[in-house]
Amino acid sequence: MNKDAPLLVIAAGGTGGHMFPAQALAEAMLARGWWVELSTDARGARYTQGFPEDVEIVEVASATFARGGRLAKLAAPFRIGAGILATLAKYVADRPAAVVGFGGYPSIPALAAAWLLRIPRMVHEQNGVLGQVNQLFARRVDLVACGTWPTDLPRGVSAEHAGNPVRGSVAERAGAAYAPPGDHPMTILVMGGSQGARILSDVVPAAIAALPPALRQHLTVSHQARIEDHGRVTAFYADNGISAEVKPFFDDVPRRMAEAQLVISRAGASSVADISVIGRPAILIPFAAATGDHQSANARGLVDAGAAIMIREDALDAPTLAGEIVAVLGDPAWAEEMARAARASAKPRAAEALADLVERLADHSPKGARP
């Protein structure tokens, strides 16, 4: 780690949806010779296994007002305040050249301290609707970068469309050759986001069991399920003679996606970006309770491009999903066209584009972001 290099602080946390693009930017900035720190909290630190060893992980106190009991909510401002004070002291000792927030409440201390000290700062919004923290800071940063376009922005706020950065392990498989479905072994990758998704565990196994035997016999399933759903999902697949691997988290998603004929997934921004860059047909089920219905906004680009089918949660059941699986896997030419459309909609250089914005920000930061 070269501490004579310019320092970039990346602030993120909460879920993989924030951490994966943060990791991609960290990889790009290290390659450009920067010194990189990740500012997060204990929860966010659980998603740092894939970060390069040269990234310094700094845990700071933070909190959310959205979860926990009355006492936890009363304590939240004091925890956030403690995190801001600790971060201010750190920035005075080692002043960053720039601070980039990726959303999630663990990014509050880093962005607030950068605002107070007038350090060049920006936020990156992965979704089609600004998250609460990014909305709070949208007028208090020098630049807003968006991963999904168009993104619903507050009045008077402009943004640059950088795309959603993908991790190096995904970028390495950008545009990977697609093997169309046919009378040969095929795989379906089922992803519920970094937290898993109960509804996918409820519906997907039953939908696959309902497929015509001639199709089902060729299928192997990789299914990401919550720990509490793991046992019943595994048992269902086994009881129905379906070859499946079920895990709470796959650490080799890029490989599995590259080998898949079809992806069934939530429409988190990182998942959509990975599907686009690797280029796979997808059935997307947006999380109905997502703030501002942002997962539907995330999915719209792939759907409009002809790369994905979207099924809303209130319309999702096993017969409907089975019908869509048959439609894709039963039409190799259409599946191949969907894969091409996904690749065409991708921004595989999003990490480099965001890195360019960081370097521009550090060199020519506007001074007018108001307190």
Residues, the chain, total?
371
pTM for this prediction: 0.84
Rounded CA gap, 143 and 140, in Å? 9
Percent of the residues in the chain that have a pLDDT greater than 70, as a whole number: 92
pLDDT of res. 371: 35
In whole angstroms, give the CA distance from residue 46 to residue 35.
Answer: 22
88 class by beta-carbon count within 10 Å (0-12 exposed, 13-18 middle, 19+ buried): middle
For 234-249, the pLDDT digits (tens) are 999 999 999 999 999 8
What average pLDDT does the segment 342-365 reach? 92
What would the pLDDT profile of 136-193 be if each residue is shown by its tens digit? Answer: 999 999 999 999 988 889 999 999 999 999 988 999 999 999 999 999 999 999 998 7
pLDDT of residue 100: 98
Domain residue spans of the chain: 7-166+348-363, 171-344
3-state secondary structure of 206: helix
Q: Which two tokens stand for residue 343?
A: 């690749």
Contact status, residue 117 vs residue 140, Cβ threshold 8 Å: no
Residue 186 CA to chain centroid, in angstroms?
26
Hey, what CATH topology would domain 7-166+348-363 get?
Rossmann fold (3.40.50)
171-344 folds as Rossmann fold (3.40.50)
Residue 370 has pLDDT above 50, yes or no: no
The identity of residue 293, as a single letter, is: D
In single-letter form, the type of residue at position 189 comes to L
Q: Tokens representing 165?
A: 């950065």
- Rounded to whole angstroms, how far apart are CA atoms 343 and 345? 5
Q: What percent of the chain is helix, strand and coil (3-state, nearest 5)? A: 45, 15, 40
**CA–CA distances in Å: residue 317 to residues 199, 261, 313:** 9, 21, 8
With both helix axes pointing from N to C terminus, report the angle between 269-278 and 16-31 in degrees, rounded to the nearest 10.
60
- Would the CATH topology of 7-166+348-363 be identical to that of 171-344? yes
Look at the block and give the residue holding tokens 């079809």: 262
